Amino acid sequence: MTRLNQSVDRVTALLAGADLTADATVRELLEETTQRRGLDLSDLSPAEQAAMIADRSQELQPSTDALAARIIEADQKGRRFIAKFGIDPTGAEVHLGHAVPMLLLSRFQRMGHQVVFIVGDMTARIGDPSGRSDERPVLTDEDIARNLATYREQVTPFFDFDRAQFRRNGDWLRQVTLSKMIEIAAQIPVSMPLQREDFRNRLEAGQGLSLAELLYSVVMGLDSVETNCDLEVGGIDQFLNMQMCRKVMDICGQTPELVVATSLIEGTDGTGAKMSKSKSNYVPLTAPPGEIFGKIMSVPDRLVEPYFRALSEWRDPELAITGERVTAGSLHPMDLKKILAGEVTAAVHGVDAAMKAREEFVARFSRRTFSEVEDLPTVSDLGQSVTEVIKALGFVRSNGDVRRVAQQNGLRLVVESESGQHQVTLNANDVHEPLSAVVKNRLDGRTGDLYLKVGRKLARIVATD
């Protein structure tokens, strides 16, 4: 029996009969599944490896059997199978959406293969046009250097860089000559990049489409040539780019890479849009444990299983058991979501941090005793308007954000005493008033520990004059 199967057996036994609301049980579960993120998978056969990758892929080209055969071929030739992933530093934060293909790449490393993580400091100057309705703003060298400064640190929870390669594509792309680029481009029909629906839509709408954008995937293909990789992992939005990589490798006399494309996870806002920094519905890997836990808890229940499949090491038998328990009523969906939030938090910060985040979340939102929550930000200047207080706390970015939270009934004063907790929902007019006046006028003389709640964020009010 493989090490993975042994782990799955232990977890399924725990999931089948244990009280999944108990902290001790959840800790035991997280310790097992978090340890699995570093589990040696080299005892899986090539067919089992390929099946494991295919199971969490939206597209695997040419096929699962072709992946198994390529792994066998590399071994027979006495070389390591090479899997690559690339990311452009167009922003300073890596988020959970990026982590989906990275998790697959980490499995290749644990299977004993060579992993190459590429930061596109050169391709970022063009900007990946995938899904864009217009051209990206041009980034300067200073912008790119600032953005990628902490990339390696951010993705370290997923990789062992003592064994994986971390490379910048500017190291080789700056050496590409014009004659080489023309030689490659001359063998690629314009119709190939124009197969992209986003390009066609922009042209039909009369919007700009630069030659640099048309060449982006060709330049990306040179990364594959440089690494002479066997396989590339990326999101499904990168599928056509990776097809071009296959073409460029073929032109350069190399065996085209295999392509693994993962599904795009929805953002935390539940609108159906993919997780994206531009939509502010993402979870950055740099976020503290409590924020990661809280953001995962905010997603709609329908996203719990897709998030488990995309962001955890849980296998289908484990998901089947929890699904059956939810259906039977022996496991509440909220308790399953807390386990998911713990999984994701533990992946980035470890089990101890995940359990503390769980404890604080329960104290804040389940037990309704905010006094148990540590490290709350504090409001002491009640002379400012509610809007200015919230902005100073960093809970929102603009006056409009404050208005929207108020309109959604997400802005509240909370007074907590021995008799319990009383909440007052503030309206759009209250946000313009000094916080001191709102406290005086809206609490009807109630006294106790005072808090300001903005959506799921909370601050302690320490003065009431």
Domains and CATH numbers, the chain: 40-262 (3.40.50.620), 283-367 (1.10.240.10), 378-461 (3.10.290)
101-110, 154-163, 321-330, 450-459: which is most confident: 101-110
Tokens of 305: 């299983």
User: Residue holding tokens 């998030």?
Assistant: 307
Q: Which residues make Cβ contacts (< 8 Å) with residue 406, sequence separation at least 6? A: 426, 427, 428, 430, 431
Looking at the DSSP assignment, which residues form a beta bridge with residue 413? 424, 452
Lowest mean pLDDT among 253-257, 331-335, 444-448: 444-448
Question: pTM of the predicted model, to two decimals?
Answer: 0.77
> Residue 425: which pLDDT band, with cuts at 50, 70 and 90?
confident
Q: How far, in Å, CA of 281 to CA of 290, rounded?
A: 16
- Tell whether the model's pLDDT for residue 127 goes beyond 70: yes
Evaluate whether 37 touches 345 at the Cβ level (below 8 Å): no
Average pLDDT rounded to a whole number, residues 98-107:
95
Average pLDDT rounded to a whole number, residues 56-81:
97
Q: What is the pLDDT of residues 191-235, one digit of tens each?
A: 888 887 778 787 877 777 788 888 989 999 999 999 999 999 999
- Confidence at residue 78, expressed as pLDDT on a 0 to 100 scale: 96
- List the 59-61 sheet strands across, edge first: 59-61, 258-262, 231-235, 82-87, 114-119, 165-168
- Tell whether the model's pLDDT for residue 129 goes beyond 80: no
- Tell whether the model's pLDDT for residue 244 goes beyond 60: yes
- Give the other-Cβ count within 10 Å of 335's Cβ: 16
Evaluate whether 274 touches 265 at the Cβ level (below 8 Å): yes
Give residue 318's identity as a one-letter amino acid code. E
Query: What is the percent of the chain where pLDDT is above 70?
Result: 95
User: Residue holding tokens 């954000």?
Assistant: 401
Average pLDDT rounded to a whole number, residues 133-144:
70
Q: Which residues make Cβ contacts (< 8 Å) with residue 231, sequence separation at least 6? A: 67, 70, 81, 82, 83, 84, 108, 257, 258, 259, 260
Q: How far, in Å, CA of 23 to CA of 245, rounded?
A: 47
5-9, 238-242, 404-408: which is most confident: 5-9
- Tell whether the model's pLDDT for residue 142 goes beyond 50: yes
Q: How far, in Å, CA of 226 to CA of 18, rounded?
A: 50
Q: H helices within 362-398, ranges in order?
A: 386-393
> Residue 164: which pLDDT band, with cuts at 50, 70 and 90?
very high
User: Residue holding tokens 């229940």?
Assistant: 301
> What size, in residues, is the chain?
465
Q: What is the pLDDT of residues 312-334, one digit of tens each?
A: 999 999 999 999 999 888 888 99
> Residue 133: which pLDDT band, with cuts at 50, 70 and 90?
very low
Q: How far, in Å, CA of 41 to CA of 450, rounded?
A: 52
- Confidence at residue 445, expressed as pLDDT on a 0 to 100 scale: 79
Tell me the average pLDDT of the chain. 89
- Tell whether the model's pLDDT for residue 39 goes beyond 90: yes
Whether cis (ω within 30° of 0) applies to the bond prior to 62 is: yes
